[in-house]
């Protein structure tokens, strides 16, 4: 029997996003940032009983606790890493399913060769930094390196994802959950992976840690074309990006203007500004949202706990 014929009835046809961490660079805990939230990048996506997670910043820590709360074993998680900069993996070693017997976690992210992502993640648990090695963590885990252009399909929750090379995926059309990948060089030093998640006739794009060029990168605009939702890096204000004393050009992040420009050109339905500058307090973030809406009407800033239902 096909896995797809027996979806979890409770969550069947659900396509829900929840933001657990929305900051870039480093977490912030000051009182004036609590409204938007201080955890670094992590977005949970629940699709028809399957659970995908985008990035393992500190936001993944409370998410992991919730997954393990009373569930034995906890539901399997498919963790997609945009890249392995510290703000995107800082929560990984504290992700409760990785510390829990019988839990299953699949980790996917950029890596030039099959073992490259595993080698990168092992740095996190170097004995000088963390007392337990990645291999010793109790939860079952499998790590997959991606080079970009893959199509990833899923069976029922807990089964290994099926990673198809671009050619092999040609011509296979299905309404079931799939993730497509695009490797962008628009982030120093090793680039970043962008993801597009498709389910039924809906899709969203996760594009954090990208610094757009003037007018936007055409290939990123194409990758996002027509999406129902675009989550895009918008770390800097124009003033910060072009500052004389401390210009941020080349740091790998976009401005609000760049993000809204790409949303317009890609003709997406909605834009979520993401990877917020940690020094931007709640008042600044409110102003940013208003200004961004002048540039692209269907824009919101991501905040912790925000949920969006695409179905
Ligand atoms: Zn980042
Ligand atoms: Zn980065």
Q: CB–CB of 27/39 below 8 Å?
A: yes
pLDDT, tens digit (0-9, with 9 covering 90-100), for 100-149: 999 999 999 999 999 999 999 999 999 999 999 999 999 999 999 999 99
Nearest residue to 7 (alpha-carbon basis) of 248, 177, 145: 177
Cα 176 to ligand 2 centroid, rounded to whole Å:
31
Q: Give yes or no for a cis peptide into 73 (omega within 30° of 0).
A: yes
Cα 83 to ligand 2 centroid, rounded to whole Å:
7
Q: What is the pLDDT of residue 165?
A: 85
pLDDT, tens digit (0-9, with 9 covering 90-100), for 176-217: 999 999 999 999 999 999 999 999 999 999 999 999 999 999
Q: What is the pLDDT of residue 167?
A: 66
Cα 275 to ligand 1 centroid, rounded to whole Å:
7
pLDDT, tens digit (0-9, with 9 covering 90-100), for 212-247: 999 999 999 999 999 999 999 999 999 999 999 999
Q: Which ligand is the nearest neighbour of the Cα of 42?
A: 1
Cα 231 to ligand 1 centroid, rounded to whole Å:
13
pLDDT band at 59 (very low <50, low <70, confident <90, very high): very high
List strand residue ranges (DSSP E) for the chain, in order: 15-21, 42-47, 50-54, 77-80, 104-110, 140-146, 151-153, 162-164, 178-184, 192-199, 202-207, 229-233, 270-274, 299-301, 307-309
């Amino acid at each position: 029997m096909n896995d797809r014929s027996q979806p979890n009835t409770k969550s069947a046809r659900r396509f829900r996003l929840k933001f657990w961490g929305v900051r870039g660079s480093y977490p912030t805990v000051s009182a004036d940032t609590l409204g938007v939230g201080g955890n670094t990048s992590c977005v949970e996506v629940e699709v028809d009983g399957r659970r995908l997670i985008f990035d393992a910043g500190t936001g993944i820590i409370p998410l992991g606790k919730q997954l393990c709360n009373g569930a034995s074993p906890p539901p399997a998680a498919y963790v997609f890493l945009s890249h392995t900069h510290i703000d995107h993996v800082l929560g990984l070693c504290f992700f409760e399913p990785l510390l829990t017997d019988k839990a299953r976690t699949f980790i996917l992210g950029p890596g030039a060769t099959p073992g490259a992502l595993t080698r990168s993640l092992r740095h996190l648990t170097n004995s000088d930094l963390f007392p337990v090695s990645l291999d010793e963590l109790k939860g079952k885990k499998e790590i997959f390196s991606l080079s970009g252009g893959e199509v990833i399909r899923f069976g029922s929750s807990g089964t290994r994802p099926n990673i198809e090379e671009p050619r092999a995926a040609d011509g296979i059309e299905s309404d079931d959950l799939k993730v497509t990948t695009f490797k962008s060089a628009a982030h120093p030093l090793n680039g970043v992976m962008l993801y597009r998640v498709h389910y039924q006739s809906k899709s969203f794009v996760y594009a954090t840690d990208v610094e757009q060029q003037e007018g936007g990168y055409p290939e990123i605009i194409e990758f996002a074309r027509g999406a129902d939702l675009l989550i895009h890096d918008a770390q800097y204000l124009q003033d910060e990006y072009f500052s004389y004393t401390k210009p941020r050009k080349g740091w790998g992040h976009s401005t609000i203007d760049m993000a809204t420009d790409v949303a317009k050109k890609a003709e997406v339905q909605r834009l979520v500004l993401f990877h917020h500058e940690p020094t931007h307090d709640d008042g600044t973030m409110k102003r940013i949202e208003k200004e961004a809406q002048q540039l692209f009407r269907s824009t919101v800033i991501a905040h912790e706990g925000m949920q969006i239902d695409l179905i």
